[in-house]
Structure 1
Amino acid sequence: MREIVLDTETTGFEPDQGDRIVEIGAVELSGHMPTGRTYHQYINPERSMPQGAYEIHGLGDEFLADKPVFKAIGQQFLDFIGDAKLVIHNATFDMKFLNAELGWCGLPKLPDNRAIDTLDIARRRFPGSPASLDALCRRFGIDNSSRTLHGALLDSEILAEVYLELIGGRQPDLVLSSDTAATSDGGGDSNWRPAPRPTPLPSRLTAAEAAAHEAFVEKLGDGALWKRA
């Protein structure tokens, strides 16, 4: 199964108010694992970069001035993602911008059901806990020390690691059904059951703990549960 972990950086929050995409980063997964193929593109937003956005992304007007406009790279982007599912943190935001840019270019928009929202997954798995990308990195012990500024490709690479943890770690597809477990040794005996231990495990109860329990039970009288046959 092919998936694309994707992130965008923008000049602001609302394409309807003139904000544009300035960077796209994407990482290809196959069977939930990175293939090494990536997509990265800076984009001239055809407008000034607001000071606040510059502080977040570190991308200024001079740097973006000679970069291609979205119309020049839109089809290339669509070719890279193909028909894969799109893994995005806060998918509503990125899909809103991508579809606005694609629409302005006359290119086909992306159906909302193509997006897998890792923010939604994190909130369902850890209700009430912080679900930002940085918070999830801390939770899963993922190194994001190089993330001093928001960058689309770096964030996609980090998100790919977070996504793998959210769906069950490094081997999310390793789920043994009763059938596969029964036949994994090649015998095919679906009635197999583990045999009793030849030697019982030693008690982990100390002598002092056993004596304290006996004394406690004696205080409960003859009706104590532990005295019933």
Structure 2
Amino acid sequence: MFWRKPLLPAVPLNKEIPLNTHFSNLTFTVFDTETTGFAVGASDRIIEIGAVQVKDRMVLDKTFQSYVNPEREIPPNITALTGITTKTVEQAPPFIEVIKDFFQYVKEGEANIWVGHYASFDLLALKKEIARNQYRVDFPICLDTLDMIGYLSPAKHMLDLEIYASQFGSRIYERHQALGDALTTAHLFCELLFHLEDRGKNTLGDLIEISNITKRNT
């Protein structure tokens, strides 16, 4: 008989949210991960998850942050980049405990949509870790600030979060730490929403369409 991986405790999905819902009526979870390296589709592991929530273009006070024990050494180049050492995470909980706490944070905040900067990297890291732990998850819609920037400023092709935050005049927090980058992304996201509304884009459907247009053109 075919064995199907068990489903992790559900995170709030958005399948029933009308596409014409104004984004001021949505709550977004803006998240980021730090990892042991950049091959998250293969052997690299998550070492930190950070998140903050946004509603009505305001960054809310309640945040989420946890180190993750990757059960392996953290390379010196990653320690130099993030400040996270093997000792930092050796007493941290394993991934499966952290992701359950993270999903609970999302659920308690009634955060309908996820947001990341270069979100495909972080989503891949999460999906690989979940699969490694022999679970599966139905993920909600996840928006990428890079797609919004690509729509507003098509000539921009960089990935650097700090550069974009500076260019759009939003706050910059401690870099290459999951919560710091999540906060920076959240403030950038709020600024991008103001720019999008100036162009008449103000609904969930608009945000999804912008994401799809950007992906079709890359």
TM-score by length of 2: 0.71
Q: Which residue of 1 aligns with 2:35?
A: 10
RMSD: 2.2
1:17 match: secondary structure: coil
Q: Distance in 1 between matches of 2:148 and 2:169?
A: 18
The alpha-carbon deviation at position 120 of structure 1 amounts to 1.4
Q: Is 1:108–2:159 an aligned residue pair?
A: no
Indicate how the Cα distance of structure 1 residues 2 and 136 shifts in structure 2: closer, same or farther if over 3 A, else same.
same
Q: Distance in 2 between matches of 1:95 and 1:117?
A: 11
Q: Distance in 2 between matches of 1:16 and 1:135?
A: 26
Stretches (4+) displaced over 4 A: none
Q: Is 1:117–2:144 an aligned residue pair?
A: yes
Matches within 5 A, 1:1-229: 1-82=26-107, 84-111=112-139, 114-129=141-156, 130-144=158-172, 147=174, 149-168=175-194
Give unpaired runs (5+ residues) of structure 1: 176-229
The alpha-carbon deviation at position 37 of structure 1 amounts to 1.1
The structure having more radius of gyration, on CA atoms, is 1
Q: Distance in 2 between matches of 1:41 and 1:110?
A: 22
State whether residues 57 and 193 of structure 2, in contact with CA within 8 Å, keep that contact through their aligned partners in structure 1: no
Give unpaired runs (5+ residues) of structure 2: 1-25, 201-218
* Deviation by residue 1:23-44 (Cα, 9 ceiling, x = unmatched): 1110012233222111100111
- Matched positions, count: 170
Q: Which residue of 2 aligns with 1:179?
A: none
Q: Distance in 2 between matches of 1:98 and 1:30?
A: 24
State whether residues 27 and 34 of structure 1, in contact with CA within 8 Å, keep that contact through their aligned partners in structure 2: yes
Indicate how the Cα distance of structure 1 residues 99 and 110 shifts in structure 2: closer, same or farther if over 3 A, else same.
farther
Indicate how the Cα distance of structure 1 residues 110 and 155 shifts in structure 2: closer, same or farther if over 3 A, else same.
farther
Which has the bigger relative contact order, CA under 8 A and spacing at least 6?
2
Indicate how the Cα distance of structure 1 residues 56 and 33 shifts in structure 2: closer, same or farther if over 3 A, else same.
same
Indicate how the Cα distance of structure 1 residues 143 and 77 shifts in structure 2: closer, same or farther if over 3 A, else same.
closer
Letter paired with 1:134: E
* Deviation by residue 1:12-58 (Cα, 9 ceiling, x = unmatched): 11234310100111001223322211110011111111122111111
1:13 match: secondary structure: coil
Indicate how the Cα distance of structure 1 residues 72 and 30 shifts in structure 2: closer, same or farther if over 3 A, else same.
same
The alpha-carbon deviation at position 134 of structure 1 amounts to 1.1
Identity %: 30
State whether residues 75 and 107 of structure 1, in contact with CA within 8 Å, keep that contact through their aligned partners in structure 2: no
Q: Distance in 2 between matches of 1:119 and 1:20?
A: 23
